[in-house]
Structure 1
Amino acid sequence: MSLKPETMKNVKRRKKRFFCEICNDGFSQRLHLTEHTRKHTGERPFLCEVCGSTFAQSSGLKRHVRIHTGEKPYACEFCNLKFPRKYKLLLHKAIHTGVKPFPCSECSAFFITPSSLKVHFRTHTGEKPHVCEVCGSSFSQSATLKIHMSKHTDENPYSCEVCGCSFMERPHLKEHFKIYHSERLHKCNMCNSSFLKKCDLTQHMLVHSGEKPYSCDTCGSSFRKPSGLKKHMLIHTGEKPYSCDVCLSTFRYSSSLKNHMSVHTGVKPYPCDICSSSFHNSSSLKQHMMIHTGEQPYSCQLCGSKFLYRYTLKQHVLKMHVTMKNTEKYPCTICGKLLKEQSLQRHMLRHPGENPYHCQLCDSSFRRMLDMKAHMKSHSSGGGRSYSCEVCNSLFASVSALEKHVRTHTGEKPYSCELCSSSFQQGAGLKNHMLLHGEERPYSCDLCRFSCTTVGSLKKHLQTHAVKKRHPCQLCKSTFTYRHILKRHMLKTHGGAKKFSCTICESKFMHRNSLKKHIKAHVDPQKYPCETCGKLFAKKSYARKHVLKHPKENTTM
Structure 2
Amino acid sequence: MIEYNIDISNRAVMGKCNICGKYITKNNLPTHKKLHSGEKPYSCDICAKSFSRRIDLTRHIKIHGPRKKLECSNCGKKLLNQLSLDRHIERGMCEKTKLFKTEKKFKCDICSVLFREEENLIKHQETFVHDKYTCETCGKSFYRKKAHERHLKCHSDEKPYSCDLCGISFKSENYDKKHKEMVHGEKPVSCTVCGKVVKHERYLKYHMVTHSEERAYSCEHCGQTFRRPNGLQKHKMYHHSDERPYSCDVCGKAFKDKQTLDKHKNIHNKAEHFRCDICTRSFSFMSALKRHYQRVHKKTK
- TM-score computed with the length of structure 1 as normaliser: 0.22
- TM-score computed with the length of structure 2 as normaliser: 0.35
Identify which of structures 1 and 2 has the higher relative contact order when contacts are C-alpha pairs closer than 8 Å and 6+ apart: 2
